[in-house]
Structure 1
Amino acid sequence: MLIQCTSRPVRNFSACHCLSSPKRRSSYSLAVSERYSSLVKSVMSSRVSSQTPDTLQAEDEHIYGPVVKAQPPSSKPEKREPKTLHPFLISEKTLETEETESGPPVRILLKRGQGGSSAPSVTRILQQTLSPEQRFYLERWKRRMIEELGEDGFKEYSQNLFRQGKLFHSTLDDIMESGAAQEKKAPAESPEYPAEVQGYLESISHILEDVSAVRAIESTVHHDSLDYLGIVDCVARYRGVLCLIDWKTSEKPKPFLSNTYDNPIQVAAYAGALNNDGNYKYQVDHGLIVVAYKDGSPAHAHQLSSEQMLQYWRTWLLRLEKFTEQRSSHTSMDFSEKK
């Protein structure tokens, strides 16, 4: 069988044909090639240095001194311990006591001024011992809020937050004292509570169902030997465990304990003072941080075990030492300026 081929114009050249075809070398490429060849010959024919990396390093050390290599950064931060590890629990007291828990909650009022205590508060100590990183983020948040609301708007915003928080705490104190936490009816449904706190009360309604045997409400605690004080929000049983409870309000969700910043340190400081205070015949080694939300969404409850409380107690002692050192430094500077 004969196959007839039809001739067509060829538009594309074969790559193999192009590669196999001889190339014409220009006079320019010949000149460059000759120059490169002579350069290689001159380099290869030159005398090679007899120095090695070791001799070069020795020469550098003789001229510039030995190389000091920096230590690689540690992956784990240095763990600090307080200079004096004051006890968190007092051996003379017992964690559980036989005294009745059915009586009214204790409320010891804070007394300042003449005849009152001049000891610094836990809140003040924590505020004045913030880390540079904490101060940076706090100042950045403040600047952003001022840019958005203005100076007057930010001032009004801060005042409203403070007023709502205070109203929430006072309403919650009334609920605790009246025993509303024991009732099946949700406190947020009660019309006598202010409308501004209805959302917060609805938020913590499922928490209050597990709170019982309230022992203290808005009560002052004072650590005699360390000389600091604080006002405890509540001491009660949460799911059967005696806890020092701290009620917080927030506009943003705080589902993790790390979202509460220095609040665990605050709770441990309050508990350590209560355990040392002779006005309280019992001790507390558990904590509870409850974060309530204005929109009524379920509050987050962060329970602190006895091991966690000891850990945050050590952190508190470090912050207290830092505060004491700062105060001593300021006192020395004031004294030198007066001289």
Structure 2
Amino acid sequence: MFIFKRVLVVSGILVPKSTALPLRHFSAPSCLRSPKRNSPYSSVDSERYSSLVKSVMSTRVSSQTPETLSAEDEHMYGPVIKAQTPPRTEVRTPKTLHPFLNCEDAGEPEDAESGPPVRIGINRGQGRSSVPSVTRILQQTLSQEQIFYLERWKRRMIAELGEEGFREYSQNLFRQGKRFHSALEEILTSDPSGKDKSVSETAEYPPDIQGYMESVSHILRDVTAVRAIESTVKHETLNYLGVVDCVARYRGVLCVIDWKTSEKAKPFLSNTYDNPIQVAAYAGALNNDGNYKYQVESGLIVVAYKDGSPAHAHQLSPELMLDYWKTWLLRLEEFTEQRSIQASGASSENR
């Protein structure tokens, strides 16, 4: 029987100090080394396995070709529907490009901007109906898309207000527009030079246009040298007429100005629909009308708001005016063709 006085710990193994066994037989590497395990691939025929890998890797044709993948996708998800390329939009040009400006009447007298604004009324005598107005031409040559949206808006308003309510609503808009234009005419004719125009006293105007007048107050400060107010212009060669709201300088540039009212914001020129075409048609007629001894190359569309928020002023540069003039000539040609077809149909019925 042995008695151990002290115990020595070697690598987690309790070893009595008094034992006669040398410590080198209990070294940590020999105690912790696990027995060698045989690899499961050691018995594999490496030569045969290598030849198999080479055979697979050397195959040039995949089992799934693009054709089979396409057939599989079609079976799982249905046939592929290829999008059609949209047709190219043909750029139309007028058959006859009538000049926008009248070069023979480019000069003007030195005192052209002095004196009261010109106002030429419409001749309501016999034969007036044979000359169509700009508004009528534009209304009768609307695109199918424009007609669709106008009809949809009309149906919504009738559904909300009823037939009688919608008729009254339309009449009120017309009356408001007339009062608004009358108020502007009063301001612009009282001081054509534009040195003292103020719309601060909005209480002087009817309640239904006070907001509109407040809306355009900041625009009027930049309107000077008023030359024409509510004046008729006529293009003798193209046989159409219109009534311009105003011809004046806006920030120093002579413009045909068109005043519009709106209950919704129209911050972009595209929101004004056919109004730029209308302004270009008026300017083209004015430039070829002998009653006006000057030429106008620019335009301005002012959209006033009923709630009094600042009006938007969309200025048309000479380049834009020329583009809209070409569009106007196309609409005018379309209108003329419509009238020709209607006239030939009427004459055939009378035979």
Q: TM-score, normalised by structure 2?
A: 0.74
Alignment of 1:46-125 (within 5 A): 72-74=85-87, 77-94=89-106, 97-114=109-126, 116=128, 118-125=130-137
Which residue is 2:232 aligned to? 220
Which residue is 1:147 aligned to? 159
Task: Check the 8 A contact 2:235/2:288 in 1, yes or no.
Answer: yes
DSSP-derived class of the 2:242 partner: strand
The gaps in structure 2 that reach 5 residues or longer are 1-11, 14-66, 68-82
Distance apart, 1:78 and its partner CA: 1.3
Distance apart, 1:196 and its partner CA: 2.0
DSSP-derived class of the 1:105 partner: coil
The gaps in structure 1 that reach 5 residues or longer are 3-51, 53-69
Which residue is 1:195 aligned to? 207
Within the candidate set 149, 153, 158, 2:170 is matched to: 158
Q: Percent identity?
A: 73
Task: Check the 8 A contact 2:197/2:221 in 1, yes or no.
Answer: no
Counterpart-to-counterpart distance in 2, 1:116 and 1:147: 38
Distance apart, 1:191 and its partner CA: 4.0
Distance apart, 1:180 and its partner CA: 8.0
Residue identity in the other structure for 2:141: T
Residue identity in the other structure for 1:160: N
Task: Check the 8 A contact 1:247/1:289 in 2, yes or no.
Answer: yes
Within the candidate set 318, 331, 339, 1:306 is matched to: 318
Counterpart-to-counterpart distance in 2, 1:129 and 1:315: 12
Q: TM-score, normalised by structure 1?
A: 0.76
The alpha-carbon distance between structure 1 residues 183 and 195, as it changes in their structure 2 partners (threshold 3 A), is: farther
2:312 matches 1:292? no
Counterpart-to-counterpart distance in 2, 1:95 and 1:308: 23
Which residue is 1:256 aligned to? 268
Counterpart-to-counterpart distance in 2, 1:90 and 1:185: 33
Residue identity in the other structure for 1:281: K
Within the candidate set 259, 267, 271, 1:247 is matched to: 259
Residue identity in the other structure for 2:245: D
Counterpart-to-counterpart distance in 2, 1:140 and 1:310: 32
Distance apart, 1:73 and its partner CA: 2.3
Which residue is 2:330 aligned to? 318
Task: Check the 8 A contact 2:191/2:197 in 1, yes or no.
Answer: no
Counterpart-to-counterpart distance in 2, 1:313 and 1:245: 16
Counterpart-to-counterpart distance in 1, 2:250 and 2:176: 25
Which residue is 1:283 aligned to? 295
DSSP-derived class of the 1:217 partner: strand
2:317 matches 1:334? no
The alpha-carbon distance between structure 1 residues 130 and 240, as it changes in their structure 2 partners (threshold 3 A), is: same
Residue identity in the other structure for 1:300: H
Which residue is 2:32 aligned to? none
Which residue is 2:144 aligned to? 132
Residue identity in the other structure for 2:211: G
- Segment drifting more, 187-196 vs 121-130: 187-196
The CA deviation string for residues 142-167 of structure 1, in whole angstroms up to 9 with x for no partner, is 00000000000000000000000011
Task: Check the 8 A contact 2:193/2:225 in 1, yes or no.
Answer: no
Alignment of 1:161-176 (within 5 A): 161-176=173-188
Task: Check the 8 A contact 1:204/1:299 in 2, yes or no.
Answer: yes
The alpha-carbon distance between structure 1 residues 274 and 329, as it changes in their structure 2 partners (threshold 3 A), is: same
Distance apart, 1:171 and its partner CA: 1.0
Task: Check the 8 A contact 1:93/1:282 in 2, yes or no.
Answer: yes
Aligned pair count reads 273
> What is the RMSD computed on CA atoms of the aligned residues?
2.2
